[in-house]
Amino acid sequence: MMEAKKIVLLLVCLNVVSSPVIASPPTCAANLDSQCADSDYWEGEFFPGIPKIKYEGPSSKNPLAYKWYNAEEVILGKKMKDWMRFSVAFWHTFRGTGADPFGAPTKSWPWEDGTNSLAMAKRRMRANFEFINKLGVDRWCFHDRDIAPDGKTLKETNANLDEVVTLAKELQGSKIRPLWGTAQLFLHPRYMHGGATSSEVGVYAYAAAQVKKAIEVTHYLGGENYVFWGGREGYQSLLNTDMGRELDHLARFLEAAVAYKKKIGFNGTLLIEPKPQEPTKHQYDWDAATTANFLRKYGLINEFKLNIECNHATLSGHSCHHDLETARINGLLGNIDANTGDPQVGWDTDQFMTDIGEATMVMLSVIKNGGLAPGGFNFDAKLRRESTDVEDLFIAHIAGMDTLARGLRNAAKLIEDGSLAELVRKRYQSFDSEIGAQIEAGKADFELLEKKAMEWGEPKVPSAKQELAEMIFQSAL
């Protein structure tokens, strides 16, 4: 419906005026061919008006300061930064255009020249590291195709990727590393029927080659994890789909990935990111439990962990807390894509999380999991389409980081207070008995249990005290 090409060109140097909190960075003077395209100009600062973001505490009114996230502060015996392990998602932050199914791109970042050239890819990578450094985080995440342009052949594409990755490695310095890398197997039309589950064997091979390379570059950059998100691994209609055969192919594909990872000595965790639907009507990695079933069925349960995304959890009919706990008790909680959805909306809105209650529940799971390392929190979140100031990128990340940091502080308060845990412990205390132990050891058969039931008569069933639990929970917010 849209003619994106033309619009992108028109927009690049569009002189968008707003009333931002700080002065805008220099925008393109005139047109595409002169200053805007002048890569030397962009060797300098991309965010000239934005300071390094610092912690100023809850009473600060400064939008460009942390109110709750204090990286070096110790909470429950660990530094905040080590609990959080925040990561910037390259795609939303630097390739997000603001386009939606009914709308053309709205972002016109001053450093963009309207092309997908290798030069532009490098300039963008520099912006990325300036952004990361100003935010004060140590991790980033990327899709292969976001950071470097397609070439005419796979070989050429790989060469492009190598060139950008070499620069990224240099810009990373000694401190910054990828939280994870991944291969983009959903944007290009060749993947319209899936990558590993495409009906075309040529596409399966192409996807394998792409993942092979993406694991290699993640390894080269010192990445700590590698993610599979199966945005096209699913179906639009069962009428034209052989679901059993497709799932078998997916298992073969993941087995080959495991083998290759080991072969090249990549020790990062392989993560699967569940999502129920969108873009396809049904995606095979629907939620944590569905993905766990797949991994168990094909003997892959010890080779993978899960990357739980909050907005994906809610789209599958669960709270984020639920899917985190499901992953955790299956031994699979590896990473969190920190975002949130709109409770009244049926698609992935990928908003920055701002709900304090939700953040507190998320952090309760993380603490029970003993943290997420080598995983962390990746901001798979984007600006609203209508947020078009450069500073909005910072404001959104600061709000998202502060929300989770506030969640951590609240969760710590709850744990230190202890009354919620005590309420739960007491609820199950009848199982801390001899017969309880027998049951939990698998030694109580139906005959024994019937005998006990007859002996005991009508069991006593106390209140679940949910309202009290909610009151205690809220008192920590």
Residues in region 118-177 near a second copy by CB under 8 A? 146, 149-150, 153-155
Among 163, 171, 241, 415, binds a second copy (CB under 8 A): 241
List residues bridging with 269 in a β-sheet: 225
Q: Between 81 and 95, whose beta carbon lies closer to a second copy?
A: 95
| CA separation for the pair 161, 226 (Å, rounded) | 17
CB of 377 to a second copy, least distance (A): 17
Tell whether residue 297 is a contact of a second copy (CB under 8 A).
yes
Residues in region 407-426 near a second copy by CB under 8 A? 419-420, 423-424, 426
Residues in region 271-290 near a second copy by CB under 8 A? 276-279, 281-282, 286-287, 289-290
Among 56, 162, 303, 355, binds a second copy (CB under 8 A): 355
- The DSSP call for residue 92 is I
Quickly tell me which residue has 């707003």 as its tokens: 18
Q: Between 171 and 435, whose beta carbon lies closer to a second copy?
A: 435
Number of residues that bind a second copy (CB under 8 A): 184
Residues in region 12-41 near a second copy by CB under 8 A? 14-21
Q: Between 34 and 433, whose beta carbon lies closer to a second copy?
A: 433
Among 33, 77, 267, 466, binds a second copy (CB under 8 A): 466
Backbone angles phi, psi at 226, to 5 degrees: -135, 135
Catalytic pick from 92, 143, 249, 397?
143
| CA separation for the pair 35, 413 (Å, rounded) | 53
CB of 434 to a second copy, least distance (A): 10
CB of 224 to a second copy, least distance (A): 21
Among 41, 220, 266, 347, binds a second copy (CB under 8 A): 347
Distances in whole angstroms, Cα of residue 292 to Cα of each of 285, 287, 302, 329: 9, 9, 10, 11
DSSP line for 236-271: S-GGG--HHHHHHHHHHHHHHHHHHHHHTT--SEEE
Q: Are 73 and 79 in contact (CB under 8 A)?
A: yes
Burial state string for 380-417 with b = 16 or more CB within 10 A and e = fewer than 16: bbbbebebbbbbbbbbbbbbbbbbbbbbbbbbbebbee
Residues in region 317-336 near a second copy by CB under 8 A? 317-319, 321-322, 325-326, 329-330
Residues in the chain: 477
Distances in whole angstroms, Cα of residue 220 to Cα of each of 35, 190, 270, 383: 34, 27, 16, 30
Tell whether residue 315 is a contact of a second copy (CB under 8 A).
yes
Q: Are 403 and 395 in contact (CB under 8 A)?
A: no
Cβ-Cβ contacts under 8 Å for 58 (sequence gap 6 or more): 67, 68
Is there a catalytic annotation at residue 92?
A: no
CB of 42 to a second copy, least distance (A): 19
Q: Are 403 and 462 in contact (CB under 8 A)?
A: no
Q: Between 77 and 189, whose beta carbon lies closer to a second copy?
A: 189
Q: Between 177 and 305, whose beta carbon lies closer to a second copy?
A: 305
Residues in region 431-460 near a second copy by CB under 8 A? 431, 433, 435-436, 439-440, 442, 444-447, 449-450, 452-454, 456-460
Residues in region 204-233 near a second copy by CB under 8 A? 204-206, 208-209, 211-213, 231-232
| CA separation for the pair 128, 140 (Å, rounded) | 9
Among 39, 133, 172, 387, binds a second copy (CB under 8 A): 387
Q: Which residues are catalytic?
A: 143
